[in-house]
Amino acid sequence: MTDRDDVPVEPANNPAGAGAAPALDPATEYRPPRNQWWDVWDQFKTHKGALVGAAVFILIVVAVFLGPYLWTIDPTYIDIRAKNQGPSLAHPLGTDQLGRDTLSRMLSGGRVSIAVGLTAMLLSIGIGTLIGVIAGYFRRLDGPLMRLTDLFLALPILPLLLVAVLLFRDMLSAAFGPEGGVFVLIVSLIGITSWMQTARIVRGDVLALKEREFVLAGRSIGTPSRRMITRHILPNVLSPIMVSATLGIATAIITESALSFLGFGFPPDFPTWGRLLFDSVDRMQLYPERVIWPGLAISLTVLSVNYIGDGLRDALDPRIRGR
Amino acid sequence: MFDYANADRLVEVVDLKLHFPVYSGVLRRQTGAVKAVDGVTFEIYEGETLGLVGESGCGKSTCGRAVLRLYEVTDGSITIEGTDIATWSPEELRRVRPKMQMVFQDPQASLNPRMTVSGIIGEPLDEHTSLSKKEKLARIYELMDAVGLNRDFAHRYPHEFSGGQRQRIGIARALALNPRFIVCDEPIAALDVSIQAQVVNLLEDLQKEFGLTYLFISHDLSMVRHIADRVAVMYLGKIVELAPRDPLYNEPKHPYTQALLSAVPEPDPNLEATTQRIILEGDVPSPANPPEGCNFCTRCPRVMEICHRIDPEFREIAPGHYAACHLHYDHDDKNAGETAP
């Protein structure tokens, strides 16, 4: 092996007579590798929808996380004399039936909704991808893991959620505080009840990828399974994962709303977009704007995340990049 | 011609079997096996090229992959540089992987579409060496020079290349760890004829430069004649004939080899008019259910009664010339049993 390590780097037939400078270090002679993430960014920039989506999403995130420091009205402050007001300078989005400021409720509600959506999505994508990749890659674990997935798919989700909330709410509230406890509970419940579709899609893709020759080439190099997965399998199943992720945010926000509506989520006076929506449904004909604001916020968030996901998926695929 | 007297055996395969189990029924019991490789024996000398030819589905690719232990072998031994790796675990195999590499058939499918050329060629270096980033890049450039790729292409993706260039990337990856033995699994089958010559010449140049040993799998008999020192002919999971190149092409012993060679097109129209094609009747039997006796007895133009009963042994019938055929066993038997004129 060692006797062949000294193969000349430059072809030996390059005499100095050609006026060439003495051979440089080959690594400096040619342009160094450009960081691949610049290519991804370049492609992302060409996707107009993704750029707009990213701008809207960043705007929403900045608004809900910094907004409450600028718009300092307490979202739970009840001013019964100012109830059911229309838009005014004091209350730009009006007030609700208890006289609470809708703008400040929207801002602090968005904080929880986006946090729940993102965290639950990450959790569900994480579990789904892990189970899907393991089931697809290791034939021996395929059967047990897919039966587990079937089991979760067959569980009636709503009763399960209700039982879990009853069982664990007090325990988690003691550990993380009343709101933190409910947050952890809801995020983990949504996470562990929505990973199954991702797992199935990922498993199918992994099964197909595993038979491709580049995986065999990796095996002939001696790449161990864990790096085979991170280097060859995961980058190639990114597209379906991205799609699941963007859809997952929407589902998580809506599931949280449903739970709040049933009274099993956050406490009634604690604003989230879902809670605002459901509170306003009763008086929808009188005050339609109170349904429109949280509905618009949820739709905009979901739509912008979808566009970001679409742009990212294209930007991460080298075959589409540069077209 | 290759000097066998002074050459060492680099690879020795003895009675290699690879059966894929077939499961059926409600209980998924094993009801049979596809005998993709069924008792193959050959050796490859250091520095030579062994051509492995046969029709589609005869098990030649499976055989090549089994030799590299990309599949779990059912039985037999694979000795590389004196160590039998047939039963090694993946972790043990990882240590010997640098010695033996593979060039794949489909250059499109064998390159990860999400990795750059430098990532693909650098993967073996990442796995088996601890080079710094700069040293690794230098080595990648060196390999790209060796296979005739422009260094500026290092940070492009496989889909931006032509078929021939992709195959060069695959060859550079196989060369990265200075292997001694490379299995070329139909490396030219997916390429244009004009590119085939380039790639084969590149393989030959690399062999001279680095002292490589090839197992060259192909169904292109003329190409094998060009590159191989010795040739093995496979039929239905078994090697039927193995001989140095010229004896095999000039006087093939096995009826199957004769039929195969008679199908090679002859460029000279005058000669072409006089060549006698041996047309084989029927289809290849299923490897899940091979015929009794000789595997070729269902289609052999010179089949004898004994062929249906006894599987012919693979034995040396002339110096260095091996064949598995009753025709060359025992002359009494041949004269007594031959049915075809």
DSSP string of B282-340, one letter each residue: S-PPPTTSPPSSSTTTTT-TT-BTGGGTSPPP-EEEETTEEE--GGGT-HHHHHHHB--
Q: How far apart are CA B270 and CA B265, in angstroms?
A: 12
B144 and B150 Cβ atoms separated by less than 8 Å: yes
Chain B residue closest to A2 (CA)? B178
CATH 1.10.3720.10 fits A91-316, yes or no: yes
Averaged pLDDT score across all residues of chain A: 80
Q: Angle, nearest 10°, between helix axes B163-175 and B133-146?
A: 130
A81 near B CB under 8 A = no
| Nearest by CB: A319 against B113, B115, B146 | B113
B8 near A CB under 8 A = no
Output DSSP code: residue A101.
B
| Nearest by CB: B124 against A10, A221, A227 | A221
Is the Cβ pair B104, A217 closer than 8 Å? Answer: yes
Supply the pLDDT for residue B7: 75
Order of strands, edge to edge, in the sheet holding B321-323?
A: B100-103, B181-185, B213-218, B49-53, B230-235, B238-244, B321-323, B315-318
Q: How far apart are CA A268 and CA A284, in angstroms?
A: 19
Q: Is B35 helix (H, G, I), strand (E, B) or coil?
A: strand
Domain map (residue ranges) of chain A: 91-316
Report CA-CA distances (Å) from B204 to A149, B217, B223: 52, 15, 12
Measured in degrees and rounded to the nearest 5, phi and psi for residue B11 equal -125, 130
Report CA-CA distances (Å) from A245 to A65, A124, A159, A254, B39: 22, 8, 25, 14, 51
A139 near B CB under 8 A = no
Supply the pLDDT for residue A302: 85
Q: B341: pLDDT confidence band, cut at 50, 70 and 90?
A: very low
B103 and B171 Cβ atoms separated by less than 8 Å: yes
Q: How far apart are CA B125 and CA B81, in angstroms?
A: 22
User: Could you tell me which of B47, B73, B48, B46 has the C-alpha nearest to residue B59?
Assistant: B73
Measured in degrees and rounded to the nearest 5, phi and psi for residue A274 equal -65, -45
Is the Cβ pair B110, A5 closer than 8 Å? Answer: no
- Best interface-test mutation with B: which of A7, A214, A320, A321 has the largest number of B CBs within 10 A? A214
Domain map (residue ranges) of chain B: 9-267
Task: Record the tokens describing residue B127, joined without a space.
Answer: 């796995």
Supply the pLDDT for residue A291: 83
Supply the pLDDT for residue A3: 43
Helices first, then strands: H and E counts in chain B: 11, 12
B106 contacts on A by Cβ (under 8 Å):
213
pTM score: 0.79
A159 near B CB under 8 A = no
User: Could you tell me which of B224, B206, B136 has the C-alpha nearest to residue B167?
Assistant: B206
| Nearest by CB: A214 against B111, B146, B152 | B111
> Sign (positive/negative) of CA torsion A32, A37, A38, A44?
positive
Please identify every stretch of chain A with a pLDDT value under 50, giving residue numbers as ranges.
1-28
Q: How far apart are CA B320 and CA B243, in angstroms?
A: 6
pLDDT above 50 for B265: yes
Which has the minimum average pLDDT: A82-86, B9-13, B269-273?
Answer: A82-86
B157 contacts on A by Cβ (under 8 Å):
318-319
Q: B299: pLDDT confidence band, cut at 50, 70 and 90?
A: confident
Is the Cβ pair A231, B155 closer than 8 Å? Answer: no
A213 contacts on B by Cβ (under 8 Å):
104-106, 109-110
pLDDT above 60 for B333: no
The 3-state secondary structure of A110-177, one letter per residue: HHHHHHHHHHHHHHHHHHHHHHHHHHHHCHHHHHHHHHHHHHHHHCCHHHHHHHHHHHHHHHHHHHHC
DSSP run (H or E) holding B60: helix B60-67
A223 contacts on B by Cβ (under 8 Å):
123, 127
> Sign (positive/negative) of CA torsion A276, A277, A280, A286?
positive
Supply the pLDDT for residue A129: 93
Task: Record the tokens describing residue B54, joined without a space.
Answer: 């046969």
Output DSSP code: residue A95.
B
Length of chain B (residues): 341
| Nearest by CB: A214 against B109, B128, B151 | B109
A125 contact partners, CB below 8 Å, separation of at least 6: A195, A198, A241, A244, A245, A248
**pLDDT tens profile B134-180:** 888 899 998 998 888 888 888 888 888 888 889 999 999 998 988 99
Is the Cβ pair B112, A235 closer than 8 Å? Answer: yes
B150 near A CB under 8 A = no
Widest pairwise Cα distance in chain B? 72
Is the Cβ pair B70, A34 closer than 8 Å? Answer: no
> Chain B 183-202, CB below 8 Å of chain A: which residues?
none
**pLDDT tens profile B61-92:** 899 999 999 888 888 999 988 888 888 888 88
Supply the pLDDT for residue A166: 83
B45 near A CB under 8 A = no
| % of chain B at pLDDT higher than 90 | 23
Is the Cβ pair A27, B134 closer than 8 Å? Answer: yes
Is the Cβ pair B111, A30 closer than 8 Å? Answer: no
- Best interface-test mutation with B: which of A24, A137, A213, A316 has the largest number of B CBs within 10 A? A213
B273 contact partners, CB below 8 Å, separation of at least 6: none
Averaged pLDDT score across all residues of chain B: 86
Q: How far apart are CA B13 and CA B163, in angstroms?
A: 32
Task: Record the tokens describing residue B188, joined without a space.
Answer: 């030219």
Strand B321-323 to B230-235 pairing: unpaired
Q: Would you give the distance in Å from CA B44 to the centre of its chain?
A: 11
Chain B residue closest to A24 (CA)? B138
> Chain A 174-213, CB below 8 Å of chain B: which residues?
212-213
Burial class (CB in 10 A: 0-12, 13-18, 19+), B168: buried
Q: Which residue has the tokens 């009188």?
A: A286
User: Regarding the domain with residue range B9-267, which homologous superfamily does it belong to in the CATH classification?
Assistant: P-loop containing nucleotide triphosphate hydrolases (3.40.50.300)
CB half-sphere exposure, A113, CA atoms < 13 A: 33
Q: Minimal Cα–Cα distance from B149 to chain A, Å?
A: 13
Supply the pLDDT for residue A18: 39
Burial class (CB in 10 A: 0-12, 13-18, 19+), A88: exposed
Q: How far apart are CA A192 and CA A128, in angstroms?
A: 9
Supply the pLDDT for residue B242: 92
B46 near A CB under 8 A = no
B123 near A CB under 8 A = yes
Task: Record the tokens describing residue A242, joined without a space.
Answer: 């991205």
Q: How far apart are CA A256 and CA A233, in angstroms?
A: 33
Report CA-CA distances (Å) from B199 to B119, B185, B196, B203, B223: 22, 13, 5, 6, 11
Supply the pLDDT for residue B215: 93
Q: How far apart are CA A113 and CA A273, in angstroms?
A: 6
Q: Which residue has the tokens 């569980």?
A: A155
Supply the pLDDT for residue B338: 44
B190 and B162 Cβ atoms separated by less than 8 Å: no
| Nearest by CB: A213 against B109, B134, B209 | B109
CB half-sphere exposure, B221, CA atoms < 13 A: 20
| % of chain B at pLDDT higher than 70 | 95
B178 contacts on A by Cβ (under 8 Å):
1, 4-5
B33 and B21 Cβ atoms separated by less than 8 Å: yes
Partner residues linked to B50 by β-bridges: B215, B230
Q: How far apart are CA A89 and CA A92, in angstroms?
A: 5
**pLDDT tens profile B193-227:** 888 888 899 999 999 988 899 999 998 888 899 99
Task: Record the tokens describing residue B319, joined without a space.
Answer: 């110096």
Is the Cβ pair A4, B211 closer than 8 Å? Answer: yes
